[in-house]
Amino acid sequence: MPTYDYRCENCGEEMEIFQSMKDKPATLCPKCGHNTLKKMVSMPAGLIFKGTGFYQTDYKKKSKTDKSESLIESSAEIIESKPKEKKKKGK
């Protein structure tokens, strides 16, 4: 469940509340008891996969230099694997 940051406009108390995305925003301040609790805009933490089977490199995009280097390497491998043609001697 996501964590939301709230601040009471009456007493200034700031808190984090764990709640479902389906839940209505909290309004009652647990400190002063007024219905002046407002959701604050906060920086998302991001999604992190933990455990076996998740690799950090699975989601990274290759840069243009990496793509061009791999293309050069694969081209070189193809050229090296082709049999060299023998030159015919003219009579």
At residue 23 the predicted structure's pLDDT band, cuts being 50, 70 and 90, is very high
Share of the chain above pLDDT 90, in %: 32
Q: What is the pLDDT of residue 78?
A: 62
pLDDT over 60 at 64, yes or no:
no
* Residue in the structure block whose two tokens are 């003219």: 90
Determine the Cα–Cα distance for residues 12 and 38; give it in Å rounded to an integer: 10
Q: Dihedrals φ, ψ of 81, to 5°?
A: -80, -15
Residue 76, Ramachandran bin (φ over 0: left; ψ between -120 and 50: alpha; else beta): alpha
Q: Average of pLDDT values for 69-75?
A: 65
Name the E strands within the chain: 3-8, 14-18, 37-39
Q: Average of pLDDT values for 82-90?
A: 59
Distances (CA, A) of 12 to 24, 37, 79: 21, 9, 71
